[in-house]
Structures are given as structure tokens and as C-alpha cells.
A and B are shown apart, each in its own frame.
Chain A
Amino acid sequence: MAAEGVREIVLAGSKDRDLTKLAAYRAIGGYELLARAREMAPQALIDEFLAAGVRGRGGAGFPMGRKASFLAKGTGKPTYLTVNADESEPGTFKDREIMFRVPHRLIEGCLITAHAIESTNVFIYIRGEYLHEFEILRDALEEVHGAGLLDGVTIVLHRGAGAYICGEETGMLESLEGKRGQPRSKPPFPAVQGLYASPTLINNVETIATVPKILELGGAEYAKLGVENSAGTRVFSLSGNVVRGGNYELELGASLRSLIYDLGGGIPDGRQLKAVIPGGSSVPVLTADEVDTALDFDSMAQAGTMLGSGAVIVIDDRACMVQLGLRVAQFYMHESCGKCTPCREGTRWLVQILHAIEDGESSQDELELLLDVCDRILGKCLCPLGDAAAMPVASYVNRFREEFQRHIDEGGCPYGGASSLDHVLAPVDQHTGTPVPQEATA
């Protein structure tokens, strides 16, 4: 196996050892960097983040050091650090593995970052479904507390309750404030008025878990990992039609082909690669011909897509692209918070039109209407959730137009029931409000 580009930074040391206990993490030098950081001036730490050139790992890829330097100063209010552990972008399961393998690296990252932004209040917003990871983090925090490492900082582990939109940073803040998780309009930005209207830094789990290593290597040295504009490593979540799905930490700029074929073992059952979603279900798709695109921000942008959350979904030649579009649109429809019209209505339109195309009940006009609806969503919503539905759907039509056309010309799905995604039910299809039978509750 030619393991091209493998480099463990965030997950370092966790594959051959159990690092979930404090003693084990300390045995590999854990919390030494925290001690060093606390000797440093906060600004010196932010300078290290800036020198490292580390970009956010949650999806948008914003430079972490710059975001930290936007925080409003002298407001008389506390500054908050909120860590985004809501991981719900379909295809993504890396933050989960970071939490269950190296919870202390995440906590050490929180404490170093808190010092850098002069905060004593940290919240980790973990998605409600991650019960096992919650328990691991809770136990790790208890150990850290017992060992006196918090030094006046409080870290509150806050569990979500099942809502993708709470991963959007302002939806998360609303949820933390005890409201429905509906995004806020910006400005004001969280750096000025975030949690409880106070300056707030929001970063993804992987971003924060990178912080101790940035300090260990030094920002300038860390910046040498990866390629231009894409410093460091990322934990890529590999899934779909691939032999060895799982998380693989690679230097940015690594080969997508090598991730799928060498590390992932290729496509099972002798099937052919058809398409790859390179950054979670919200990003535009790549065709099999584009599998040599490098895994970094700029290369993906040049190919018309994004690295997003680092979730690589491999799709073989059994999948119908209309069904794929439908399933993706159903997800975003289900998760639309309902606050703004283009997203709330637009995602419903996408689902209806895609259903009609799949069922052979549409005309040429509807294919154009589908693209028109995408256009009316793109860039017109309160938060990027609408784009997250419109971008992939438009890309499926644009890159697999012929397949959509066949649905219309042939009056139905050319796969004739043999697609791998045939009849897949979505949560929006399931019965709701069907009470438990009376005799059972009596």
C-alpha cells in the first residue's frame, strides 16, 4: 500500500495506544504545551496561529489566527470560546474519531486557545447523537479538572439534540442560548456579538485539536506541511463505495486518487468509479475523470468544488445521479430551519422536481426549472444551508446532464430498479405522529 501523504498530527500516537486517559496522554508529552503556552503572552500565541496559516477545518476554511484576531477587545464582557463538535455534514465522521481517540488533545487545544484569546469560558457543543464520545470527553474533563489543569477556566460540554443547522455557527449560538437553532443575520459577527452578545470565537474540533501541535512544531514549521494556501494536515473521512472506509489523516495537497485506491483499497465488487463528492454532501461533485484533483483548497476550487468538511464520498457506477440528487435534497429540506424563504421553499421545490424526474413525470421544462430554482437559492439565503442544497444538485445536472435527460426522454429511471440508491427512504418519508398502540401504553 503506497500510503502517499499520510502524516499524523491531530491523531498522532493514537492508533497504537489508548490515549483517552490523562496518564497516557501525559506520557507522550500531553499538557506540556499548555504549560508552555501559559508562559507566553496571548498575542504571541495568536502570532503562532497566524504563522501556521491554519485554516478552519469545519467547512469554510477561514484562517484561524485571523478569526482570533478579530475578537472585540475591551468590551467589558467576557470572551467566549465555543468549539463546534456538532459534526453533521453527511459523509463526515472525523471529529468523532478525534474525540474518541484524542479527547485530551482537544481539551489541551481548548485551554491553549482560551489563553490566546484571554477567555475563561469554553463551551463544546457536541451533537446529541454522539453519546459515546460525550462520555469519553466528560471523563477526560473530569480527569483534567482533578489534576488542576483548568486553572480557572471552565469547559462546559453541551449536548445538542439533533439538528444539522446547529452546526452553522450562529445557529449553534442560538441553540446554546436555549432557543431554536435558527441562524442569525450577520453582521454583527460573533467576534463582536456572539454568545450572550459577547465576543466569541467559534472553531471546529479538528481546528482546535491542531493547536497543541502547532505550538510543538512552531507556527512557521507547521506552515511547511501541506501546500501553498493549504497548510498542515486534514483528517479525511472516506466513505461510500470503497473497500476500506474510515478516517485518514493526510498532508493537504495529497492525492485523491491515492486516498481512494491505495488507502481505501479502491472500489469493491469490480465496479467502476463514477463520481466523487470531495467535501461532504453540500459540495459540487467530481466525475471519475477528475479523480487526480489534489486534496487542497485551491485545487478543489479550480475544479469547481470545495474541500468542505473533508468528507470524501465515493460513488460507483450503480448509482443513479437523479436519485442521489433527490436524497441530498431531502436531507437539506429536512434540515432547513424555516427562517428564510428561499431555503425553506427552495429545498421543497428541489425535492418535488427531482421526484418527478425520477418517476418519469416531468418534461424538459422541469429540468430547466430545477436549475432555475438552484439559481434562486444560491447566495440568497440567510445562511449557507440553501447553497448547500443548490450547489450539489446543480452540479449533478451539469456534470451528468445526459443521465437527467434520459429520465425525461425515457419516461423514468434508466436504471430500471437496479440503482444502488433505488427506493432509499429518507426521514422525511417516514410516518410521523403514529402513536404507540393504546394497549401498549396502558
Chain B
Amino acid sequence: MSTFYDEVQEIRARYPEARSAILPALRLAQERHDGWLPREAFEEVADALDLTPAYCRSVASFYDMFHLEPVGRHLVEVCTNVSCALVGAQQVVEALEQELGIEPGETTADGRITLRLVECAGGCGWGTVVAVDHRYREPVRAEDVPGIVQELRNGG
């Protein structure tokens, strides 16, 4: 497996300016650090792109898909924007809260599943949209929730 540094150099070569590679580099770093960005991740990105770690952190903090705190092994994200809300997103959220025993923004005690609310995911006509590890499930109803959670618990 190539090193993080080398992979980032490859990405960097696609852009006229190195800094443009910061989002792909942060994404890659996040994948390599269990789904979040600890301090070392910013140091690695900064090193690979000739930036400072503080700059990298300030950029990462602007974007919702970068996590500055540890997250669970699986990410369950529910859209609660208007179109999904009109067709029962809140009931889906409540079913997930109950099934997982946590509230949105939290992670189960075994570190397995993080539940998050997100803004419009771009599947409004097929709502409620739930993204499980970034793969969309459309539509999800409250009664589908136990099956989804079971699948994640079985899957490791």
C-alpha cells in the first residue's frame, strides 16, 4: 500500500495549486484514521500539501462531512429537511433513537454506530432518506429501522 504522502502527491498533481487538493487529502486522512480527524491527521495533510496543521483544521471545520471527534464504525445519517420531514423523517429518527438507545449526535456504547441528522441529502422525492455509511436507502420508514440496525449489528 502506498503511503499517505505519495497518494496525496498524486491527487495534488491534478490541480494547478497544491492547496486545491485539501478536501481530497482530508477525506483520505479521515478514512485512514477510523472516520475522524485527530491531530496527527492534520499534521499529515499539512506536511503533504505544504500547509500548516491549523490551516487544515480551519478548512475541515467548515465542512459537515469531516469529523473532529471520534465516530462509530458505522454512520447512520437521517435527512430531516422539509420534504423528508413532511413524510415522516421524525418518526424514523425516533425509531432509531429507540433501537440504538442514543440521541442524534451520539454513538452507541460499543462504539459501533453513530446516529446523525443531516440536511437535505438530495433524495427528497424518495424520502425519508437515510444514508448508511454514505450509501443511500430510499425510502426508509420507521418500520424499516429495526432491520437496518440489525444488519449493522450483524455486520461487525
- A residues engaging B (CB < 8 A)? 87-93, 95-96, 127-132, 154, 156, 158-164, 175-181, 196, 237-241, 245-247, 277, 281, 311, 313, 315-316, 319, 324, 327-328, 331, 334-335, 337, 420-427, 429-437, 439-441
Chain A hits for B65, CB < 8 A? 128-129, 161-162
- In whole Å, how far is B95's beta carbon from the nearest beta carbon of chain A? 13
Q: Is B24 an interface residue (CB 8 A)?
A: yes
Give the CA-CA distance A337 to B63 in the complex, in Å: 10
Contact present for A440 and B64 (CB under 8 Å): no
Contact present for B134 and A129 (CB under 8 Å): yes
Chain B hits for A432, CB < 8 A? 105
Partner pick for B120 among A88, A158, A422, CB 8 A cutoff:
A88
- In whole Å, how far is A344's beta carbon from the nearest beta carbon of chain B? 14
- Please list 16 pairs of residues, one from A and one from B, whose beta carbons are closer than 8 Å in the complex, sorted by A's number: A87-B122, A90-B119, A91-B82, A92-B124, A128-B63, A129-B118, A159-B24, A164-B119, A196-B16, A238-B125, A313-B83, A327-B81, A424-B85, A426-B119, A440-B110, A440-B111
Question: Could you give, for residues 90-105 of chain B, a 1 whenever the CB lies within 8 Å of some chain A CB and a 0 otherwise?
Answer: 1001000000000111
Contact present for B87 and A434 (CB under 8 Å): no
Closest residue of A by beta carbon distance from B71: A436
Contact present for A93 and B69 (CB under 8 Å): no
Chain B hits for A433, CB < 8 A? 69
Contact present for B121 and A129 (CB under 8 Å): yes
Give the CA-CA distance A433 to B105 in the complex, in Å: 8
Total number of B residues with any Cβ neighbor in A under 8 Å? 61
Q: Is B19 an interface residue (CB 8 A)?
A: yes
Contact present for B122 and A88 (CB under 8 Å): yes
Q: Is B109 an interface residue (CB 8 A)?
A: yes
Contact present for A430 and B120 (CB under 8 Å): no
Contact present for B63 and A241 (CB under 8 Å): no
Q: A180-B59, A246-B126 are in contact. Are A161 and B26 (CB under 8 A)?
A: yes
Q: Is B76 an interface residue (CB 8 A)?
A: no
Partner pick for B109 among A179, A313, A440, CB 8 A cutoff:
A440
Give the CA-CA distance A286 to B139 in the complex, in Å: 27
Give the CA-CA distance A407 to B6 in the complex, in Å: 60
Partner pick for A431 among B17, B62, B105, B136, CB 8 A cutoff:
B105
Contact present for B90 and A422 (CB under 8 Å): yes
Give the CA-CA distance A105 to B145 in the complex, in Å: 37
- Determine which residue in A161, A178, A311, A422 has the highest number of CB atoms from chain B within 10 A of its CB, and name it: A178
Closest residue of A by beta carbon distance from B21: A178
Chain A hits for B20, CB < 8 A? 158, 176-178
Give B105-136 interface residues, CB cut-off 8 Å to A: 105-107, 109-112, 114, 116-127, 131, 134-136
Contact present for B72 and A436 (CB under 8 Å): yes
Closest residue of B by beta carbon distance from A422: B90
Contact present for B119 and A89 (CB under 8 Å): no
Partner pick for B19 among A178, A311, A328, A426, CB 8 A cutoff:
A178
Contact present for A90 and B59 (CB under 8 Å): no
Contact present for B82 and A434 (CB under 8 Å): no
Contact present for A331 and B120 (CB under 8 Å): yes
Q: Is B54 an interface residue (CB 8 A)?
A: no
Give the CA-CA distance A405 to B81 in the complex, in Å: 25
- B residues engaging A (CB < 8 A)? 14-24, 26-27, 49, 58-59, 62-66, 69-72, 80-83, 85-87, 89-90, 93, 103-107, 109-112, 114, 116-127, 131, 134-136
Contact present for B107 and A334 (CB under 8 Å): no
Give the CA-CA distance A405 to B20 in the complex, in Å: 50
Question: Interface on chain A toward B: helix, strand, loop, or mixed SS?
Answer: loop
Give the CA-CA distance A197 to B135 in the complex, in Å: 36
Q: A132-B135, A425-B80 are in contact. Are A161 and B23 (CB under 8 A)?
A: yes
Contact present for A313 and B62 (CB under 8 Å): no
- In whole Å, how far is A140's beta carbon from the nearest beta carbon of chain B? 17
Contact present for A175 and B23 (CB under 8 Å): yes
Contact present for B80 and A90 (CB under 8 Å): no
Give the CA-CA distance A324 to B20 in the complex, in Å: 38
Contact present for A431 and B122 (CB under 8 Å): no
Give the CA-CA distance A289 to B84 in the complex, in Å: 24
Give the CA-CA distance A439 to B119 in the complex, in Å: 31
Give the CA-CA distance A432 to B72 in the complex, in Å: 14
Give the CA-CA distance A427 to B119 in the complex, in Å: 7
Chain A hits for B19, CB < 8 A? 177-179
Partner pick for B123 among A96, A175, A327, A431, CB 8 A cutoff:
A96
Contact present for A181 and B62 (CB under 8 Å): yes
Closest residue of B by beta carbon distance from A319: B86
Q: A164-B119, A324-B82 are in contact. Are A196 and B134 (CB under 8 A)?
A: no
Give the CA-CA distance A184 to B17 in the complex, in Å: 19
Contact present for B124 and A131 (CB under 8 Å): no
Give the CA-CA distance A93 to B81 in the complex, in Å: 13
Partner pick for B103 among A90, A281, A331, A430, CB 8 A cutoff:
A430
Chain A hits for B112, CB < 8 A? 440
Closest residue of B by beta carbon distance from A96: B122
Give the CA-CA distance A437 to B22 in the complex, in Å: 30
Contact present for A178 and B17 (CB under 8 Å): yes
